[in-house]
């Protein structure tokens, strides 16, 4: 791959920590300006500053730069003397802020690596999901990832991690624990584990490349119908492949309909959302993007849908970006009924660049529109059946994530009711009838 010219679009809600990334590349353009400016670029921090300025200058979706004099911004940035990269980083952040775009942002090397790991759908570690238990102030294993070193070592859900390589986890944050557990492939880490009914014990694990599951699915028997339930966490580089396997597996189990859960899915890769939409949608438009000069790119279904069975989609205020592309495509083409709360409302696309010092830059390069052509930016998508959770219900689900897609989940239960209605109409009229919109 030509590392100087290619990039992949990224869609991601900005306030989600450890945002997903794309296949990233280094994008550097020749400096623009007089000889004195060129001489100044021999200084490494200034080189980084100009590297970022050039990318934004070439790609940013708003050619007016939010009425900012972007050329003057460059001269100001290069007129400063930077004594450290940290000082240059802050200057870069200050320069980007007047653009008024929270999605065009600078990422220091640590944040950029997190972003890269998450979007690639892979990381180097032992394969456990951890949570911080407030009442006990302890690190608890949510689950080991299937076929990971942790899974093979028989680490179980509910285990507590007391120490990492001899360092107590008391008072340790999730971020700190994750940093200690991750490392180079082939190296080892020792976890001290506490399990109910047993004395604490050590487990030595060898780090490996872990493929993170973005898709979780199961067959549910719901009042006489067989429901294929699929939860999509994010649109990583492996999400489409995992979604395909989930649909095919559930099809083989002769399900009557599907529930696709996009709640709390912050987004991810543009092309992953298009690929997944094509698995559900036989024909019709999926999304269109418009860049800074008005260039329009349209994406449509290509008659490769894996199922035509009734489909209900669950969304909430944290369903953003690529989630909204998929939701909009399914709703506007009357392929699915959408249930839950209005979505987040992020309708812009970013490219992500790897910079010369290991840091990164996300730049908004285009706006996207669902098949209806409606601008959903800052507005979101209104569900067909709006059913909001109370603050108390949201807090309860945060404490008890295992209640998701059960009888304790009112949005899921409303989706089951919608599937029952859809299947009834199919059986009595020979066709699927989309229920009327309910607010």
Q: Which residues are catalytic?
A: 321, 332, 346
Cβ contacts of 55 within 8 Å, gap of 6 or more: 27, 29, 353, 361, 363
CA distance 368 to 297: 9
CB-side neighbour CA atoms (13 Å) of 12:
31
Dihedral of CA atoms 136, 139, 142, 146 in degrees, nearest 10, equals -160
Phi then psi for residue 372, to 5 deg, are: -65, -20
CA distance 178 to 176: 5
Sequential DSSP letters for 331-386: HHTTS-EEEES------EEEEEEE-TTS-EEEEEEEEEE-TT----TTT----SEE
For residue 189 the two structure tokens come to 């880490």
Phi then psi for residue 103, to 5 deg, are: -90, -20
CA distance 268 to 205: 30
Among left, alpha and beta (phi > 0; psi -120 to 50; other), residue 268 is left
The answer to whether the beta carbons of residues 351 and 8 sit under 8 Å apart is yes
């Amino acid at each position: 791959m030509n590392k100087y010219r290619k990039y992949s679009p990224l869609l991601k809600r900005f306030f989600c920590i450890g945002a997903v990334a794309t296949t990233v590349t280094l994008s550097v353009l020749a400096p623009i300006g007089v000889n004195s400016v060129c001489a100044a670029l021999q200084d490494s921090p200034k080189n980084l500053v100009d590297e970022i300025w050039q990318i934004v200058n070439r790609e940013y979706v708003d050619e007016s730069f939010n009425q900012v004099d972007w050329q003057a911004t460059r001269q100001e940035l290069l007129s400063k003397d930077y004594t450290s990269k940290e000082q240059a980083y802050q200057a870069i952040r200050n320069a980007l802020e007047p653009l008024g775009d929270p999605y065009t942002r600078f990422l220091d090397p640590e944040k950029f690596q997190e972003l890269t790991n998450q979007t690639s759908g892979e990381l180097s570690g032992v394969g456990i999901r951890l949570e911080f238990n407030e009442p006990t102030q302890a690190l608890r294993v949510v689950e080991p990832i299937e076929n990971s070193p942790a899974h093979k070592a028989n680490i179980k859900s509910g285990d507590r991690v007391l120490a990492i390589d001899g360092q107590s986890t008391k008072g340790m944050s999730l971020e700190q624990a994750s940093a200690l557990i991750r490392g180079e492939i082939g190296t080892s880490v020792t976890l001290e584990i506490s399990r109910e009914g047993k004395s604490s014990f050590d487990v030595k694990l060898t780090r490996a490349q872990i493929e993170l599951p973005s898709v979780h699915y199961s067959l549910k028997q719901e009042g006489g119908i067989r429901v294929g339930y699929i939860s999509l966490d994010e649109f990583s580089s492996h999400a489409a492949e995992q979604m395909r396997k989930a649909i095919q597996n559930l099809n083989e189990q002769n399900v009557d309909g599907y529930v696709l859960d996009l709640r709390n899915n912050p987004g991810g890769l543009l092309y992953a959302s298009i690929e997944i939409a094509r698995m559900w949608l036989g024909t019709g438009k999926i999304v269109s993007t418009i860049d800074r000069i008005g260039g329009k790119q349209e994406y449509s279904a290509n008659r490769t849908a894996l199922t035509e069975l009734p489909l209900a989609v669950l969304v909430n205020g944290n369903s953003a970006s690529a989630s909204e592309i998929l939701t909009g495509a399914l709703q506007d083409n009357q392929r699915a009924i959408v249930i839950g709360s209005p979505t987040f409302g992020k309708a812009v696309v970013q490219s992500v660049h790897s910079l010369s010092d290991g840091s990164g830059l996300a730049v908004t390069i285009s706006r996207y529109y669902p098949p209806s052509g409606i601008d959903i930016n800052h507005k979101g998508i209104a569900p067909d059946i709006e059913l909001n959770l109370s603050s108390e219900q949201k807090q309860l689900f945060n404490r008890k994530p295992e209640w998701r897609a059960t009888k304790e989940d009112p949005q899921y239960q409303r989706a089951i009711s919608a599937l029952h209605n859809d299947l009834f109409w199919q059986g009595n009229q020979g066709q699927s009838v989309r229920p009327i919109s309910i607010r």
